[in-house]
Amino acid sequence: MADLIVSLAERSYPIYIESGLLSDNSQLTEHIAGKRVCIVTNDVVAPLYLASLKQQLSAYTVDQLILPDGEAQKNLTNFEVIMAHLLANGHGRDSTLIALGGGVIGDITGFAAACYQRGIDFIQIPTTLLSQVDSSVGGKTAVNHPLGKNMIGAFYQPKAVLIDIDSLSTLPIREFNAGMAEVIKYGILGDKPFFDWLETNKQAIKAKESKILAEMIQRCCQAKADIVSEDEKEAGVRALLNLGHTFGHAIEAEQGYGVWLHGEAVATGMVQASQLAEHLGYLSAAETNQIIELISYFDLPIKAPDDMSFADFIKHMARDKKNLGGKLRLIIPTAIGKSEIFDNITEQQLQQVI
């Protein structure tokens, strides 16, 4: 029984959130239509979970592709590596790709699935907190380009998402904290009770208490599923999920992908968006400080890199894929638990916070 459903008519799919899913094939095999499977993972996750996953797939013909770890690997070169592997191993339209890893693996594998023979099935098995609460849900797939993050990709939904909470036990603390940026985002952008819940339970979250983590992940996935079901291709409300991302993507692109983790950049971006909201008169200083305190509790950065100038930010923000008609679109919190899309922010106003 699925914990959640992303409702998209014929493209609807389940999200399972449990302990031990990587050792139980009952949910996994239900969503594999053919007999061929290719697992795409990286050299950090493979030694931990690949053998266990392959054991669950003994009834299938399985091969695997192990990519190097890191955000810098989410590029067209490795997209081509996946394409070549699928062709060389004779995969057809009835093959299923399985993305075993964090957001990088999920994004590039999903994009490969969207493109290979004009679209084959794929399943997300996210192993990082950030991918479990955000990138594995919603069908955004992409690779990065030196001129912009996630600028080459497709909206392409998985057949299922399997979240094994036990995988967080092997996650480095820096990666866990980076995932918390996306968790906190849901509270700021549209769920004040969840933000309050995070403040109340922050010690238990930091201690990785399994029941608390399960509830936290489920609440995030439900929030994202609701938004994606309403606006699959980001024509409206889904853009709110990019709170902090326009600033954050600029940091990632300018510093070099992987220097700052995605969640670290988003954390700073949310602080900048909150400071801009305060400057515009929407947030009080107390609310901004409340946001900064929760972000800081998880040892996330709250200031942009010292070597980034205003011009460095603007050149990347001007290329952001959310922009329409040449206008910069920013997501700004108007209260803790409420955010809006603004397309009338001037460079002079941005200079107040960058």
Task: List, by residue number, the catalytic residues.
Answer: 118, 140, 182, 224, 234, 238, 242, 245, 249, 262
Query: Given its phi and psi angles, is residue 244 left (phi above 0), alpha (psi -120 to 50 degrees) or beta?
Result: left
Q: Distance between CA 143 and CA 71 in Å, rounded?
A: 10
Rounded to whole angstroms, the Cα distance separating 93 from 34 reads 9
Distance in angstroms (rounded) separating the CA atoms of residues 107 and 135? 7
Degrees to nearest 5, angle at CA 130 with 32 and 19: 55
- H or E element at residue 217: helix 210-230
CB contact at 8 A, 295 and 302: yes
3-state class of 22 per DSSP?
helix
Token representation of residue 299: 């040892």
Helices then strands (H, E): number in the chain? 13, 11
Distance, in Å, from the CA atom of 88 to the CA atom of 102, rounded to the nearest integer, reads 25
